[in-house]
Each structure stands twice: as structure tokens, then as C-alpha cells.
């Protein structure tokens, strides 16, 4: 858990600019938020392949699909609330349905969007995107994984939704880390409980594992960065070998990462699961880190939930 803290949106901007230097088929669209989504660097370096679509997210998605139909690899960015929420019909009809080669990279997702408040803290986007046929859904854990994930989705043919954060978070993935679409990475092994987290919550899960170790418990930590397709094999092994799971996400627990995991394991390797996330409520305005604490998504809360789950299963 070392390395400078960086927001995954910043790493996205860096990765996108690097792609633009090596691939002339990359085209980038933004809905008048390029300073915030960090696509601005690509636009400055490659203005002929960058299009500011204005505050018109639906039009941006439709245009992205049209460009993709000509053989281009298209990245489209806005805040997650707008890309997944306002433009859902266009994402469904013009990207998912025709299996268009469009990469929707949405920033400012989850409660760590912070002071912008409940109207902008989208907590439903994973549920919206993972239900769509043909859509790949990715939530990188940190800056290092984001750069690797963006390179991977650029090579992947078909629609992708990449969820990015506003808040800076420490590097959780190790040196030499590799990313593969559809693979869950085991960041720490353990035998008593599995902590399955995504996005900015991965760092907190690793810290929770350290706290559990001081209490004599061994926690496995999974980085569930690809939500769809889900790595059911790794999850099933964790279920069978540790006997219980805690899932952690800054998203509604209904339809999110915890739901995806519970659905999958119910068919192949059921076990007791505790889902941590937003429970049928909206967020609040405040500092992102303070909101993580307020809503019970920090390491002490995760460790407490894990110990309660272990205690429930003990004879």
C-alpha cells in the first residue's frame, strides 16, 4: 500500500494522452468537462481528434457510436451521473445494442465526489451498466491499475464502462501488477474471511486486513476491478476456502458489486456474505474521506463487519 496518492481520473487522463501518441485511431469526446475528467491533455495534444460536445451527453454518446461505426476507437467522458444517468437511453440503444466500440470513462462517481453532494454522487451507475448486454464494467482500484485498464479497454473490442474517482487515493496494487479484463486480483491471501472490494474501497480493505491481523484473523483481499464479466472462479475459491465474504463499495448495495458477487456465488459456492455500501439512501455533501467514514466504508468499519461475520459462523 505504498505510492503517491492519485485520483483515478488523473491516471485516466495520463493514460489517454499516452494512447494518443501511439494510436491514431483513438478519438476522444467530452461533455464540456475536460478539465475535470482530465481529457484536456489529450485535446491539447491532438485537437483534431478531440471533440467538446458541450452540455449534451446524449448527443455525445450518439456521436461516439457513429464515429465507432467507421472503425475508430472512441472514448467518451463526463461525470458518471451524466454519462450513466442522463444518457442511459443512448448508451443502451446506440452503444450496447449495436455492440459499438465505445469506451465510456465516467469520473466523479460515488460518495467520494464529496462536496458536490447527493445530486452528483452517482450511486447507481454500476447497476445501470452491468445490466446491459455487451457492456464490460470496470472500476480500477488506483492510479496504477487505471493506466493498465485504459490500455486494456483500448484493445478490447466492444462497449466498456470505466468508473473513475475524484478523490485521490494511495496506490494499492503492487509493483509489477498486471491487469486483465475479467480477472479478480488477490492482493492479500487469508483463510478466515474474504474482503472483496472495488475502486477506492480496495485501499480500505487492505487496511482492514491489517487491523484484523492484529486480532488474530487472517483476511484475504480481492480487488474486484472487473464487475462484468465477473471472475466467478476466483470468487468461488475464496468462498470455499475462507467460508465468508464481506463486500465493500461506494455504491448502492442493491445492484452493485456486492449484488453481483452474491448472485454469482448463490449458484456455485454459497456462503455467508455481508455487503457494505450505501443502503437505499443518497449521499451527502462533505469531504470525500469524511463521507467514507460517515457511511461506514473505512478500515475499522470493514474489520468490525468481518469480525461479526466470523463470530456468527463460529460454533
Residues annotated as catalytic are: 57
Which burial class, exposed, middle or buried, applies to 184 when counting CB atoms under 10 A from its CB (0-12, 13-18, 19+)?
buried
Q: 62 and 93 in contact (C-beta within 8 Å)? A: no
Rounded CA separation 27/74 (Å): 5
Distance set, CA 264 to CA 202, 217, 230 (Å): 20, 26, 8
- Name the 3-class secondary structure at 104: strand
CA–CA gap between residue 99 and residue 10 (Å, rounded): 28
- As a whole number of angstroms, the distance between CA 124 and CA 126 comes to 6
Angle at 25 between CA 19 and CA 29, to 5 degrees: 75
- Please list the alpha-helical segments (H only) found in the chain: 8-22, 34-37, 40-45, 57-68, 80, 88-90, 125-130, 143-155, 201-214, 232-242, 257-268, 288-294, 299-313
First-to-last alpha carbon distance for the chain, in angstroms, is: 35
In contact, 42 and 14? CB cutoff 8 Å: no
Amino acid at each position: 500500500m505504498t505510492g503517491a496518492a492519485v485520483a483515478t481520473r488523473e491516471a485516466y487522463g495520463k493514460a489517454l494522452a499516452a494512447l494518443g501518441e501511439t494510436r491514431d485511431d483513438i478519438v476522444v469526446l467530452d461533455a464540456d468537462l475536460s478539465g475535470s475528467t482530465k481529457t484536456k491533455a489529450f485535446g491539447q495534444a491532438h485537437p483534431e481528434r478531440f471533440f467538446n460536445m458541450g452540455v449534451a451527453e446524449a448527443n455525445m454518446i450518439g456521436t461516439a457510436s457513429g464515429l465507432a461505426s467507421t472503425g475508430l476507437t472512441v472514448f467518451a467522458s463526463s461525470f458518471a451521473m451524466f454519462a450513466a444517468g442522463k444518457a442511459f437511453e443512448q448508451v443502451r440503444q446506440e452503444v450496447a445494442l449495436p455492440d459499438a466500440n465505445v469506451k465510456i470513462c465516467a469520473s466523479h462517481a460515488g460518495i467520494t465526489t464529496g462536496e458536490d453532494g447527493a445530486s452528483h454522487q452517482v450511486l447507481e451507475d454500476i447497476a445501470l451498466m452491468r445490466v446491459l448486454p455487451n457492456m464490460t464494467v470496470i472500476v480500477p482500484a488506483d492510479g496504477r491499475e487505471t493506466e493498465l485498464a485504459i490500455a486494456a479497454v483500448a484493445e478490447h473490442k466492444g462497449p466498456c464502462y470505466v468508473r473513475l474517482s475524484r478523490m485521490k487515493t494511495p496506490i494499492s496494487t503492487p509493483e509489477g501488477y498486471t491487469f486483465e479484463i475479467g480477472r479478480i486480483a488477490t492482493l492479500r491471501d487469508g483463510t478466515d474471511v474474504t474482503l472483496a472490494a472495488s475502486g477506492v474501497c480496495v485501499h480500505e480493505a487492505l487496511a482492514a486486513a491489517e487491523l484484523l491481523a492484529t486480532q488474530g484473523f487472517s483476511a484475504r483481499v480481492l480487488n474486484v476491478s472487473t464487475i462484468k464479466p465477473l471472475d466467478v472462479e476466483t470468487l468461488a475459491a475464496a468462498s470455499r476456502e475462507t467460508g465468508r465474504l464481506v463486500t465493500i463499495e461506494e455504491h448502492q448495495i442493491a445492484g452493485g458489486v456486492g449484488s453481483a458477487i452474491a448472485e454469482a456465488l448463490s449458484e456455485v459456492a454459497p456462503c455467508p456474505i455481508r455487503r457494505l455500501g450505501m443502503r437505499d439512501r443518497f449521499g451527502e455533501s462533505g469531504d470525500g474521506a469524511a463521507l467514507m467514514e460517515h457511511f461506514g466504508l473505512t478500515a475499522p468499519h470493514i474489520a468490525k463487519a468481518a469480525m461479526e461475520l466470523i463470530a456468527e459462523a463460529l460454533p
